[in-house]
């Protein structure tokens, strides 16, 4: 359950942002997850609900967006995007594929009142 520390960090950033903008309520939070991240949105939602109880973030909607990762094929020197761990080059069907980006989890936007 590695979503807990990630959710805690996200939660404290969101609260900090909301407070510095004098928000009364946080309506929604848009999150971007790297294509190869092992973060499970349902688990983030679960922890977020617990953390946000009795705070201005209670009831905020979490919106998840999967981010594509950049990959590179060494057979045909091609760059392409991947959405999952299916590491096959779309050009040559080869498996000599490298992933260029990491497995990030970022806050994209926050809407507040």
- Write the binding mask 23 to 62 for Zn ion: x where contact by CB under 5 A, - elsewhere: ----------------------------------------
Is the Cβ of residue 13 or residue 74 nearer to Zn ion in the bound state?
74
* Dist CA 69 CA 46 (whole Å): 26
| Phi and psi at residue 99, to the nearest 5° | -95, 135
Is the Cβ of residue 65 or residue 91 nearer to Zn ion in the bound state?
91
Q: How long is the chain?
A: 113
Q: Is 91 in the site for Zn ion (CB under 5 A)?
A: yes
Q: For the segment 69-88, give every residue that binds Zn ion (CB under 5 A).
A: 73, 75-76
* Dist CA 111 CA 25 (whole Å): 9
């Amino acid at each position: 359950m590695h979503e807990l520390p990630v959710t805690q960090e996200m939660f404290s950033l969101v609260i900090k942002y909301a407070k510095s903008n004098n928000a009364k309520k946080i309506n929604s939070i848009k999150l971007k997850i790297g294509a190869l991240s092992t973060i499970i949105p349902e688990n983030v939602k679960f922890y977020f609900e617990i953390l946000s109880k009795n705070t201005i973030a209670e009831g905020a909607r979490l919106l998840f967006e999967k981010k594509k990762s950049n990959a590179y094929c060494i057979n045909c020197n091609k760059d392409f995007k991947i959405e999952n761990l299916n590491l096959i080059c779309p050009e040559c069907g080869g498996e000599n594929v490298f992933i260029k980006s990491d497995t990030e989890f970022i806050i994209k936007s926050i809407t507040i009142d």
